[in-house]
Amino acid sequence: MNDQRIDQNADQAMEDLQIAKALGKIKHKILVFSGKGGVGKSTVSANLAVALALGGKRVGLLDVDFHGPSIPKLMGMAGRRPDMRDDKIVPIPFSENLQVMSLGMLVDGADDAVIWRGPMKNGAIRQLVKDVAWGELDYLIVDSPPGTGDEPLSVAQIMQDLSGAIVVTQPQQLSVDDVRRSISFCEKLNLPVIGVIENMSGFICPHCGEVVDIFKTGGGEELATQKGIPFLGKLPIDPAIVEVSDAGQPFIYHSSSSPAVKAFEAIVERVVEQVEAAATKKESPAPSQAGEGAVLRCAMPLDGGVVSAHFGHARSFAFVDYDVKGQVAIKVEEKTPPPHEQGSIPRWIMEEKVNVLFTGGIGAMARQMLEEKGVKVVSGSPQVEPLAVVAKYVQGELETGENRCDH
Ligand code: ADP
């Protein structure tokens, strides 16, 4: 790895830390996407967010679909601009526990963002993710750009630590092929698929209210079964959905007796079940051991964004999970250590299941505590950005000096 690449990585690592900070208080982050446009992805995103909020969850809805961000219209917020506070974007409240932010609220015309080039889109997604002040949330629903190209890829990578993706499809064979691509896209990204929703499956007759199967339905369900992925449910075509959506009202508000609303409520219940069950499993992962697994968990005290000389006196620590084989950081977080009392910070580092600790300086007691528990302590570490120090270490190129400060 040359120095320029390490510098770029270090810049990105700093931004990753800011993103981790911005998203740090969000329990579950869900990406909603589809193999192509027009299948009802935004309708699902908006109504999922509203339904979760109606169920008492604290919810954020983020729209990063460059192909005509439609969330402002669907949520009755067309033309609204967010306020700024302390250099942060304040999302627009829809209700007491639902806040909304869309790329469409930052561009002038609905079509402006479509013509942006890749790096600009990437920068816009990063900024939206980094600069929106969500605060504490139970759920963040992300309306992703459609397809399996660079745009949804950037979103999935930038968001870090997503709970998973919901794939929206239509029942016809062509859409099912798109979903097959969407599922392999998630597999490549190691992104769990929360499940598949088959939208526009059957038609609700406006006269009798019965669901009529005008096309073959069940394609999405068949594919989900084949792939061993949860099928979240079918949402019928309901002319009322278009009508209320056009009027800027999420249809879930419309009528509790409509079969579409009932179907959607059952879908939301399954989403919550899937996401919360997966989160419980994730809370007790097997610890990764240095040398044994491919992931090295590194920690370092920070001072001004670089490795600090003072292990016991840093206000924050960076944690980097580094895929040694792939030579890439898979997770970067910034956390606040417990108050400085004897042994409290080494204990915290051990609880965090860290393999390697980098620091400019560390006291003899703390070092001994950590080393006894198998944490490798690298002192005299240079004062550089977190990812740079980890990358150099993994390459066997990290030059260390004296244990600079051990108070
Ligand atoms: P996407 O985000 O995938 O491009 P949208 O959510 O914008 O798709 O939906 C496309 C159009 O289809 C919108 O006019 C929307 O109101 C309509 N629509 C979505 N789902 C349904 C449904 N189940 N019944 C009727 N119309 C629907």
280 versus 173: the higher-pLDDT residue is 280
- Asked if residue 3 has pLDDT above 90, the reply is no
245 within ligand 1 shell (Cβ under 6 A): yes
Least confident of 285-289, 335-339, 376-380: 285-289
* Residue that terminates a domain, selected from 258, 283, 308: 283
200 within ligand 1 shell (Cβ under 6 A): yes
| Residue 285 CA to ligand 1 centre (angstroms) | 39
Q: What is the CA radius of gyration of the chain?
A: 24
| Residue 104 CA to ligand 1 centre (angstroms) | 18
CA dihedral (57, 62, 65, 71) in degrees, to 10, reads: 70
Q: What pTM, to 2 d.p., does this model score? A: 0.72
40 within ligand 1 shell (Cβ under 6 A): yes
Question: How sure is the predictor about 265, in pLDDT bands with cuts at 50, 70 and 90?
Answer: very high
Residue with tokens 């390490």: 6
Task: Of 90-99, 102-111, 172-181, give the range with the top mean pLDDT.
Answer: 90-99
> Under a CB-based contact definition with an 8 Å cutoff, are residues 309 and 383 in contact?
yes
- Which ligand 1 atom lies nearest to the CA of residue 240? 25
CATH number at residue 318: 3.30.420.130
Least confident of 93-107, 206-220, 357-371: 206-220
148 within ligand 1 shell (Cβ under 6 A): no
Same domain, yes or no: 175 and 193: yes
* Residue that terminates a domain, selected from 253, 283, 313: 283
Smallest CA-to-CA distance from 165 within 232, 75, 251, 116 is with: 232
202 versus 390: the higher-pLDDT residue is 390
CA dihedral (73, 76, 22, 288) in degrees, to 10, reads: -70
Question: How sure is the predictor about 300, in pLDDT bands with cuts at 50, 70 and 90?
Answer: very high
Same domain, yes or no: 37 and 178: yes
Domain total in the chain: 2
* Residue that terminates a domain, selected from 262, 283, 304: 283
Residue with tokens 């062509």: 174
Same domain, yes or no: 298 and 180: no
Mean pLDDT of 169-187: 81
